[in-house]
């Protein structure tokens, strides 16, 4: 009997909740109007968009729904925050960010550098933590924006966002955070964290792909990067993706209600899984900060194994996991996050990200535990590599 495949890659994408699918479907049927039309079809679509805006605002503690602008996802939100902040002020300016950001931030910074913007990339410590002192030291008189992610997508390390927010406020610099992995998993309050701009994405919180939002604090001005018909208060043109936005609103509503409980459950499942793996398999290291990370994220270094080979082996056995960031997969480049953390080469090569989330069960974990020790042994025997953490 073949068993259902087990999905353990929730940091790459998440299954759509049935309530979210229902909300999406409502606007694929008779409620198909353009939210910018004045007639009843338009008003019906507008109501759905505005309701979604309220749920998104509530999820992150925004003072007003107006501060939420819907986008095509995390990548667009990150691009917009940085490009929009630079373009809004005369002169080229300077950005402070970290070396472990998602490519949506890093590649944008690199492109901005070509047009004369200067960027300081801060390396984290070995656990993936960015130092507030280093951010403070990097801020210059011409710094426009500091962009530090709320939590890292590969190792899950949660950054000292409140401290960085307070620092940026004190120094009069805009603060953007990529909260694509944190939203819906950690409790977020943009006001106590003094965040000016925050990126979120639908498909990481059990909504559809290709939809997300950028929070823009009232009073903060950034230029639009998509211009046209003036939708979204003239900040992000293009007819709104009503079905996906309605679904995102529903996902935010559910996340707000269930996040504290669900996160606790998922963290305890992750811890059980990790403890068992470390007990049953020799020479495994935990990458990241075990005491300060996203609830479902486990990034493990199987010393002496090749992560990609292990991933393929597990896929053949019916388990979906990942190495590094799935958004830039297809490349076998070693993870820029683990390298920036200064991990030894063999821990980077043998790393595997197992990420749990809504729908993950104890049975999934038990099934993985049955298969993983043999898979690791097998992969280690194919291409033996150094098995001490200091091996090069």
As annotated, the active-site residues are 327
Among 33, 35, 74, 295, binds ligand PLP (CB under 6 A): 74
x-marked contacts with ligand PLP along 99-118 as a string, rule CB under 6 A: ---x-x--------------
Q: Minimum Å distance from CB 152 to ligand PLP?
A: 7
Smallest separation, CB 370 to ligand PLP (Å): 29
Q: Which is nearer to ligand PLP, 286 or 327 (CB)?
A: 327
Burial environment of residue 339 by CB neighbours within 10 A (0 to 12, 13 to 18, 19 or more)? middle
Q: What angle do CA 233, 236, 238 make, to 5 degrees?
A: 105
Q: How far is the CB of 352 from ligand PLP (least distance, A)?
A: 17
Q: Which stretch binds ligand PLP (CB under 6 A): 44-52, 70-78, 226-234, 366-374?
A: 70-78
351 binds ligand PLP (CB under 6 A): no
Segment interacting with ligand PLP (CB under 6 A) among 74-82, 169-177, 267-275, 309-317: 74-82
Partner residues linked to 97 by β-bridges = 121, 147
The smaller minimum CB distance to ligand PLP, of residues 14 and 44, is found at 14
Shortest separation between residue 78's beta carbon and ligand PLP, angstroms = 6
CB 226 within 8 Å of CB 236: yes
Q: Which of 35, 93, 124, 212 binds ligand PLP (CB under 6 A)?
A: 212
* By the rule CB under 6 A, 73 interacts with ligand PLP: yes
- Near ligand PLP by CB under 6 A: residue from 21, 166, 267, 327: 327
CA-CA distances (angstroms) from residue 40 to 28, 47, 217, 245?
16, 10, 31, 19
Least separation in angstroms between CB 53 and ligand PLP? 18
Q: Which is nearer to ligand PLP, 325 or 349 (CB)?
A: 325
Among 178, 240, 262, 364, binds ligand PLP (CB under 6 A): 178
| Interatomic CA distance for residues 184 and 254, integer angstroms | 9
**Residue of minimal Cβ distance to ligand PLP:** 74
CA distances (Å), 347 to each of 134, 192, 292, 325, in order?
26, 37, 20, 16
Task: Tell me how far apart the alpha carbons of residues 185 and 358 are, in angstroms, rounded to a whole number.
Answer: 10
CB of 360 to ligand PLP, least distance (A): 18
288 binds ligand PLP (CB under 6 A): no
How far, in Å, are 67, 214, 229, 277, 328 from residue 232 at the CA level?
A: 10, 11, 9, 48, 30
Let me know: does 75 contact 200? Beta carbons within 8 Å. Answer: no
Please check whether residue 69 is in contact with residue 232, taking contact to mean a CB–CB distance below 8 angstroms: yes
With respect to ligand PLP, which residue has the nearer C-beta, 10 or 217? 10
Residue 178, classed as helix, strand or coil, is: strand
Interface residue with ligand PLP among 97, 147, 201, 322 (CB under 6 A) is: 201
User: Would you tell me how many other CB atoms lie within 10 Å of the CB of residue 28?
Assistant: 11
Q: How far is CA 173 from CA 186, 199, 350, in A?
A: 25, 18, 39
**Can you give the binding site for ligand PLP, defined by CB under 6 A?**
73-75, 78, 102, 104, 149, 153, 178, 180-181, 201, 203, 212, 327
């Amino acid at each position: 009997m073949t068993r259902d495949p087990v999905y353990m890659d929730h940091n790459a994408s998440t299954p759509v909740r049935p309530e979210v699918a229902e909300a999406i479907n409502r606007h694929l049927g008779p409620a198909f109007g353009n939210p910018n039309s004045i007639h009843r079809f338009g008003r019906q679509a507008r109501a759905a968009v505005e309701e979604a805006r309220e749920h998104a605002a509530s999820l992150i503690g925004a003072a007003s729904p107006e501060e939420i602008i819907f986008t095509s996802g995390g990548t667009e939100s990150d691009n917009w925050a940085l490009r929009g902040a630079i373009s809004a002020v005369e002169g080229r300016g300077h950005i402070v960010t970290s070396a472990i950001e998602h490519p949506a931030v890093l590649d944008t910074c690199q492109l901005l550098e070509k047009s004369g913007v200067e960027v300081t990339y801060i390396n984290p410590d070995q656990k993936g933590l960015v130092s507030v002192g280093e951010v403070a030291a990097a801020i210059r008189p011409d710094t426009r924006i500091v962009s530090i992610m709320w939590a890292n997508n590969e190792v899950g390390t949660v950054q000292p966002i409140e401290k960085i927010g307070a620092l940026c406020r004190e120094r009069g610099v805009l603060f953007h955070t990529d909260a694509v992995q944190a939203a819906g998993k950690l409790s977020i309050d943009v006001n106590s964290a003094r965040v000016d701009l925050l990126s979120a994405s639908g498909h990481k919180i059990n909504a559809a792909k290709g939809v997300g939002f950028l929070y823009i604090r009232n009073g903060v001005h950034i230029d639009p990067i998509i211009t046209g018909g003036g939708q979204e208060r003239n900040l992000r043109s293009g007819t709104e993706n009503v079905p996906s936005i309605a679904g995102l609103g529903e996902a935010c509503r559910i996340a707000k209600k269930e996040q504290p409980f669900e996160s606790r459950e998922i963290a305890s499942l992750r811890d059980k899984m990790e403890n068992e793996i470390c007990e049953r398999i020799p020479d495994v290291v935990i990458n990241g900060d075990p005491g300060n990370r996203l609830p479902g994220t486990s990034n493990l270094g199987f010393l002496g194994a090749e992560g990609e080979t292990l991933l393929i082996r597990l896929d053949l056995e019916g388990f979906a996991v990942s190495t590094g960031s799935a958004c830039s997969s297809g490349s076998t480049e070693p993870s820029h996050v683990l390298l920036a953390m200064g991990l030894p080469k063999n821990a980077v090569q043998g790393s595997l990200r197992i990420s749990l989330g809504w729908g993950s069960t104890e049975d999934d974990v038990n099934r993985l535990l049955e298969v993983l020790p043999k898979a690791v042994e097998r992969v280690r025997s194919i291409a033996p590599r150094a098995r001490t953490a200091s091996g090069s």
